[in-house]
Amino acid sequence: MAEPERNRRLSHWQALVDTRGRFRAYRAVLASRGRSQASHRASFRMDLVGAVLVGTIEFTELWVLYSATDQIGGFTLAQIMLVFGLSDLAFSLADLAAGHCDNLPVYVRAGTLDVFFLRPQPLLAQLMTSDLSLRRIGRCLVGATALTVGLVINDIDWSVGTVGLLLLALVCGFVIFTAQFVTAAGLQFFLVNGAEMTNAFVYGGRYAATQPASVWPRGLLVVFAGVFPVAFAAYLPVSTLLGMPGLAGLPTWLGWCAPVAALWAVVVAGLCWRWGLRHYRGAGG
């Protein structure tokens, strides 16, 4: 074996057994993003406050709605608070991790995406770790607060099952919303100025997820419980948690099916991303 070849293989093995391991590249990028944002303290604080304000206003909107009626779709304000908190927290976490997938058209235009091709990591992993918007933590705080209050004021039969269901809903909600961002990114390879269109279901989906799905017309139900299964992020698990009657005559335990919905969302996202990438590389599609 030639000397440089052997050296390369050696260094490759060293890299593999290196305790800092395979995630070293992603960690290096993310850490630098964090440092860069921390260096602009004033703007970071303002972003944080802004995010909290927007979240609070969105909750106030719900509260105003409930001042006119006791129930919407069979949910009281206290109960909807759980739905709002759970979905908002899951969405904000997904936004923190993958929200910058929205920037794909910018990356394409600036040629940053071509640079990703020149690095030995998978493209989607590079895109997702290309940024970390810490200011979105503000939004997570709103969601977490609403969720905590919701858990306190509702009459919940605490058990291992309920805790498990909550955690499951949070994780699956996070996965579902992250998948929505990736789906949108994949579609944006085709739609040159398609951000408006993809925002409609990413952010529309977030809004839908904070509401009781029982009030939706059938069309919306198909979209947000089936194709983009955001109903599984909060509404259905909360229905199960509170023992509410199921959606459209479906069983109450449907909330436990969140992992199936998450898996579906991931498959759709993966296909859209691959399809979009094929199109970008000019392989048809």
Partner 1 sequence: MNVIETEGLTRVFTGRPDPKNKLRRRRHVAVDRLDLTVEAGESVGYIGANGAGKSTTIKMLVGILVPTSGAVTTVGLHPLKQRRALARRIGVVFGQRSQLWWDLPVRESFSILSAIHSLSAADERSRTAELVDTLEMGGFLGTPVRQLSLGQRMRAEVAAALLHRPELLILDEPTIGLDVLSKQRLREFLVTQRREHGTTLLLTTHDMGDVERLCDRILVVDHGRLAFDGTLDGLGRTVGARRELVVDLATASPDLVDVAGAEHVRSESDGLRQRLAFDPQRTTAARVLAAVSERAEVVDLSITEPDIEDVVREIYRATRR
Tokens 């990703």 — which residue?
Answer: 116
Give min distance, CB of 98 to partner 1, in A: 20
Could you give the CA distance from residue 6 to residue 274 in angstroms, rounded to a whole number? 34
**Cβ 98 vs Cβ 180: under 8 Å:** no
Nearer to partner 1, 110 or 163 (CB): 110
Q: CA angle, 271 as apex, 114 and 267 as ends, to 5°?
A: 130
Nearer to partner 1, 109 or 222 (CB): 109
Q: Is 40 helix (H, G, I), strand (E, B) or coil?
A: coil
Give min distance, CB of 135 to partner 1, in A: 15
Nearer to partner 1, 115 or 267 (CB): 115
**Cβ 117 vs Cβ 73: under 8 Å:** no
- Angle between helices 137-153 and 41-68 in degrees, nearest 10: 40
Give min distance, CB of 31 to partner 1, in A: 9
Tokens 């919940």 — which residue?
Answer: 156
Give min distance, CB of 11 to partner 1, in A: 7
By CB under 8 A, name the binding residues for partner 1: 4, 8, 11-12, 14-15, 18, 24-25, 27-29, 32, 36, 110-112, 114-115, 117-122, 278, 281-283
Could you give the CA distance from residue 254 to residue 49 in angstroms, rounded to a whole number? 37
**Cβ 56 vs Cβ 64: under 8 Å:** no
Nearer to partner 1, 6 or 119 (CB): 119
Give min distance, CB of 194 to partner 1, in A: 16
Nearer to partner 1, 143 or 186 (CB): 186
Nearer to partner 1, 45 or 119 (CB): 119
Give min distance, CB of 283 to partner 1, in A: 4
Q: Residue 242's closest CA among 88, 81, 87?
A: 81
Residue 244 DSSP symbol: P
